[in-house]
Structure 1
Amino acid sequence: MVKLIRSNNVYITLLHRCKYSTVPKSISTIHINGKDFKSDDYSNITPKILTYLGRNLHLQKGNPLSMVRQRIVNYFYKSFTHRGNPIFSIYDNLSPIVTVKQNFDDLLIPLHHPSRAKQDCYYINKDLLFRAHMTAHQSELLRAGLNNFLMIGDVYRRDEIDSTHFPVFHQVDAVRSQRKEELFNSNPDLEIFEPSFDTKKPKVLNDITDSSKQSCHTLEATKLMETQLKSHLIGLIQALFGKDIKYRWVDAYFPFTHPSWELEIFYENKWMEVLGCGIVRNEILAAAGPNNSIAYAFGLGLERLAMALYNIPDIRLMWSKDSGFLNQFANKDVDAKITYKPISLYPQCVNDISFWLPNDLTIDTFMSNDFYDLVRDIGGDIIEQVKLKDKFVHPKTKKHSVCYSIVYRHLERTLTQFEVNKIHKEIEKAVTDSYNVVIR
């Protein structure tokens, strides 16, 4: 039995005797993977998002994400060894359910930072969420005594809907830390920390107003780590795209690293950002245990790399179970040169939806990401794109109206306008019931 109910401005599907289900807010619990979690005003997990849990595309042999993942692992295994053994450890099956502390607090992300907003994250409740980045596991692995590791898995962010955005994607994050004797093995007179830095109070926030380094670090330590970091990541990109790939570094800001950079490559006649990186804030290292080392970290998205490497035009294809897609990657060497060949170019169906907002909502306060989640819950993966087409304020009544275009396209067959219209009517009813709007 499948029943749609309204809960917390989101349609919740109750799938009886199904592996994934959620429970109405009135029962105050959300059931995920056999466990019950308390719900509250933060809860915004949708039924569709629950269906992606446990798919682990990065571990599915023959999936392009798995192939890119293995190429990255191979690079680090080959490039970093000690006495013939790889020094990087791999963690690719960590639970996607993390605490707010793990996802934000441990990484020095400010309380009012926009990345914490319900608009951007999938919250189970005010204390738990689906990780928004693999860096959420960084502190726990540092506390476990690890100093060189890769974290690989699925991450969850509420976002727009188009060919390059999906609410679930896959990241590789890494940390490499070194003590003084490792970093300056050929120059033991140099130090990681400035003489003025109080090593007895390593958790105190240090100044980052100097764009070249953190106040606690010496310039020599920072520059040497920067050189290593950039050299290692250029090597990785060249291993993936070839020695002739054009690249450039761009200064960036992340709450958990300083200084920070983004690496861009020249792809299809334009610059494309492929990863972010930087020197880990010393407060994070000290809070996790190692207060006598310096570290770099980076994070990259597997989907973006796979789409560029194999010319995959639509991010939804990563989730396809169609043999026509998967067979192009099955039983292939991970370093094979593969160019995706479309199975078929099925036509789009485009329907617009316009509605008047209730008096308590305006164009500025209506959250498009809530609407996108609702559309995806009902339309599923045949939703190719949702884009805001028009905004309007009635000159007399001052009522606000919005219009969205919804692009429908199935990846494996032709959709009929009849079935699209049926789904579109369900979306109209859902948005009417959820937000008390009036369809125009």
Structure 2
Amino acid sequence: MMMSLRVSTAASLARRRLPGGRIPLLISTRIPSPRCFSASATTEPTNNSDIIDCDSKDVLNAHHGLDLSDPYCNVSEHIASRVGVNLHHRTNHPLCTIKELIHDYWNTTNSDNNNKFELIQNLHPVVSTNANFDLLRIPQDHVSRQKTDTYYLNPTTVLRCHTSAHQVDLLKQHKRQFLVTGDVYRRDEIDASHYPVFHQMEGVKLFDTSDNTEESIQADLQHGLEGMAKALFGADTPVRWVDAYFPFTHPSLELEVYYQDDWLEVLGCGVIHPDIIQNAGMDPSQTSGWAFGLGLERLAMVLFAIPDIRLFWSTDQRFHKQFQAGTINTFQPYSKYPPCLKDMSFWLAPDANAFCENDLSEVVREVAGDLVEQLTLIDSFVHPKTQRTSHCYRITYRSMDRSLTNQEIDALQEQVRTLTQDRLGVELR
């Protein structure tokens, strides 16, 4: 049966792009959960050249199944510690609730007993660059391929940026209708709505072109997604479609809903590009389909009124006891601990174009982990004589669960300063 959905009065959130939006969230996923389904409902990676064998000795080690020894690797211990946590498998967790509500929608309201969506949610996040980029038509010069944006284990292996990294392999396995959920990884800025690990959900459905046109496939997609949006946000919620571009679909669309007095971007979708069908070993003249991708954190933050994305990773029972599987309710803040603000100024290296804020964010996260709430550029100028560029960043430290002491933050700040200078080649002021 469809789980009951009690939509609460969530705090109004300004319309924003999805976290980590450098790679479109289309055929990707942004969701997770563990109780949820029996082993028969999941699919594990197969021995395909585009899916990394996670049992191999060169991948498995003490870092949650990751080999961090390659000189090219830019995955920190902090990020490695998130692999295998699988928030989307945790009963009562808001991400698991959103995931299951969407699962139930597609397998009750929008399908029949003979045509269920296969639920796939245990695929390992280590994939090849071929699967993550090339097979999805992401160009060689795309910014998302840079080490400033993607976590590399070695030059040809990454932590997936989107669950779409598995799409071609799953299609090669002759799967025609499925939902994929999992954790994805992107180097990104630090604020209340961005985190380097988040969760996506992707849906894919194939059609025989002898019985369906591109227009009818797109209509089927839009009808299904409009129904899903109304199931989550309320039957009377206005929706609208916006033209978009994704390299793996054509035509491509974004769905927005009008919620809490603002238009909110919910997901990306489209008709699967013929090249993707061909990459999966099928004939595009005979087979086509649609795909969509959405972020679970984004939906959960709005529907549960969760103000900070770090809360999803909290171990504090004052957070977790507020939620129950299958029910959406308004999060009640249990305390607002005071922030601790620290500023850091430095001259950029002679090649100022080499500096990337994502690299600085990684340094701060590597030292302070989830104690850092925000990183903000508060001042920047060019010296009139030397032409050197100066940046001043304000780091906001705040725990979600306890008060911080000046002593511990001073120690962290000193580590941040030292590592910033050593790793980024800047000159501290």
TM-score by length of 2: 0.83
Which whole-Å CA distance do the structure 2 matches of 1:369 and 1:152 have between them?
26
Match of 1:277 in 2: 269
Report which stretch shifted further, 400-409 or 163-172.
Answer: 400-409
Shift of residue 121, structure 1, vs aligned partner: 0.5
Higher relative contact order (CA 8 A, sep 6+): 2
Please point out which of 297, 305, 314 is paired with 1:303.
297
Which whole-Å CA distance do the structure 1 matches of 2:65 and 2:161 have between them?
22
Q: 1:333 to 1:131 in 2, by over 3 A?
A: closer
Residue 377 of structure 2 aligns with an amino acid whose one-letter code is L
Shift of residue 231, structure 1, vs aligned partner: 0.5
The answer as to whether partners of 1:80 and 1:88 remain within 8 angstroms in 2 is no
Which whole-Å CA distance do the structure 2 matches of 1:348 and 1:108 have between them?
43
Please point out which of 353, 371, 376 is paired with 1:382.
371
Match of 2:90 in 1: 60
Match of 2:100 in 1: 70
Shift of residue 354, structure 1, vs aligned partner: 0.4
Larger gyration radius, structure 1 or structure 2: 1
Report which stretch shifted further, 420-429 or 60-69.
Answer: 420-429
Please point out which of 317, 323, 338 is paired with 2:317.
323
Q: 1:347 to 1:119 in 2, by over 3 A?
A: same
Which whole-Å CA distance do the structure 1 matches of 2:390 and 2:209 have between them?
61
Match of 1:95 in 2: 124
Residue 90 of structure 1 aligns with an amino acid whose one-letter code is L
Which whole-Å CA distance do the structure 2 matches of 1:311 and 1:37 have between them?
36
Shift of residue 253, structure 1, vs aligned partner: 0.1
Q: 1:358 to 1:297 in 2, by over 3 A?
A: same
1:169-184 aligned within 5 A: 169-180=198-209, 183-184=211-212
Match of 1:392 in 2: 381
Please point out which of 404, 410, 420 is paired with 1:431.
420
Q: What root-mean-square deviation, in Å, do the aligned CA atoms of Structure 1 and Structure 2 show? A: 1.8
Shift of residue 152, structure 1, vs aligned partner: 0.3
Match of 1:205 in 2: none
Which whole-Å CA distance do the structure 2 matches of 1:257 and 1:90 have between them?
22
Match of 1:342 in 2: 333
The answer as to whether partners of 2:64 and 2:80 remain within 8 angstroms in 1 is no
Residue 190 of structure 2 aligns with an amino acid whose one-letter code is I
Match of 1:8 in 2: none
Q: 1:168 to 1:35 in 2, by over 3 A?
A: closer
Residue 106 of structure 2 aligns with an amino acid whose one-letter code is F
Aligned to 2:354, what secondary structure does the other structure show?
coil
Residue 101 of structure 2 aligns with an amino acid whose one-letter code is R
Match of 1:45 in 2: 75
Shift of residue 85, structure 1, vs aligned partner: 4.3
Please point out which of 142, 152, 157 is paired with 2:181.
152
1:395-414 aligned within 5 A: 395-414=384-403
- Is the aligned partner of 1:250 residue 2:216? no
1:119-198 aligned within 5 A: 119-180=148-209, 183-184=211-212
Q: 1:369 to 1:146 in 2, by over 3 A?
A: same
The answer as to whether partners of 2:376 and 2:394 remain within 8 angstroms in 1 is yes
The answer as to whether partners of 2:360 and 2:420 remain within 8 angstroms in 1 is yes
Residue 391 of structure 1 aligns with an amino acid whose one-letter code is S
Aligned to 2:409, what secondary structure does the other structure show?
helix
Which whole-Å CA distance do the structure 2 matches of 1:436 and 1:288 have between them?
44
Which whole-Å CA distance do the structure 1 matches of 2:425 and 2:106 have between them?
53
Q: 1:417 to 1:36 in 2, by over 3 A?
A: closer
Q: Which structure has greater strand proportion?
A: 1
Shift of residue 34, structure 1, vs aligned partner: 4.7
Where does the alignment leave 5 or more consecutive residues of structure 1 unmatched?
Answer: 1-27, 185-220
Aligned to 2:153, what secondary structure does the other structure show?
coil
Match of 1:351 in 2: 342
Aligned to 1:150, what secondary structure does the other structure show?
strand
The answer as to whether partners of 1:154 and 1:171 remain within 8 angstroms in 2 is yes
Residue 74 of structure 1 aligns with an amino acid whose one-letter code is D
Which whole-Å CA distance do the structure 1 matches of 2:328 and 2:90 have between them?
19
Report which stretch shifted further, 307-316 or 420-429.
Answer: 420-429
Residue 439 of structure 1 aligns with an amino acid whose one-letter code is L
The answer as to whether partners of 2:207 and 2:217 remain within 8 angstroms in 1 is no
Q: 1:53 to 1:35 in 2, by over 3 A?
A: closer
Q: 1:36 to 1:325 in 2, by over 3 A?
A: closer
Which whole-Å CA distance do the structure 2 matches of 1:439 and 1:302 have between them?
39
Where does the alignment leave 5 or more consecutive residues of structure 2 unmatched?
Answer: 1-57
Which whole-Å CA distance do the structure 2 matches of 1:48 and 1:90 have between them?
29
Shift of residue 321, structure 1, vs aligned partner: 0.8
The answer as to whether partners of 2:59 and 2:65 remain within 8 angstroms in 1 is no
Which whole-Å CA distance do the structure 2 matches of 1:37 and 1:231 have between them?
45
